[in-house]
Amino acid sequence: MKAPAPRVLMVGTALEGKGGVAAVVSVLRQHGLFERERVRYVATHREGSKAEKARGALSGFWNTVLACVRQHPAVVHVHAASRASFVRKSIVLLIARLAGCKTIFHLHGGGFRQFATVEAGALMRRWIRHTLEASSVVITLSNGWAEFVQSFAPASRVMVLPNSVPLPAPLSNDREEAQRILFLGRLEAAKGVFELLAAGARLAPRFPALRLVFGGEGDADAIRKRAAELGIGERIELPGWVGPRERDAQLARAAVFCLPSHAEGLPMSMLEAMASGTAVVASSVGGIPETIVDGDNGLLVPARNEEALARKLEQVLGDEALRTRLAGRARATIEQHYSTEVVCGKLSALYRELAGT
Task: Give residue-wise pLDDT tens across range 264-302.
Answer: 999 999 999 999 999 999 999 999 999 999 999 999 999
Kindly state whether residues 309 and 348 are assigned to the same domain.
no
Kindly state whether residues 304 and 348 are assigned to the same domain.
no
Residue 303 has pLDDT above 70, yes or no: yes
Mean pLDDT of the chain: 94
Q: What percent of the chain has pLDDT over 90?
A: 86
Residue 1 has pLDDT above 60, yes or no: no
Kindly state whether residues 86 and 227 are assigned to the same domain.
no
**CA angle (326, 271, 224) in 5-degree steps:** 90
Domain count, the chain: 2
Kindly state whether residues 304 and 349 are assigned to the same domain.
no
DSSP category for residue 73: -
Work out whether strand 256-259 and strand 180-184 pair parallel, antiparallel, or are unpaired: parallel
pLDDT (0 to 100) of residue 168: 85
Residue 4 has pLDDT above 80, yes or no: no
**Residue 224, domain extent:** 173-337
Q: What percent of the chain has pLDDT over 70?
A: 98
Sheet holding 8-13, edge to edge: 39-45, 8-13, 75-80, 102-107, 137-140, 158-160
Kindly state whether residues 191 and 300 are assigned to the same domain.
yes
User: Which pTM was predicted?
Assistant: 0.88
Q: How far apart are CA 274 and CA 335, in angstroms?
A: 10
pLDDT (0 to 100) of residue 16: 85
pLDDT (0 to 100) of residue 5: 83
Could you tell me if residue 236 is inside a domain?
Answer: yes
Kindly state whether residues 123 and 240 are assigned to the same domain.
no
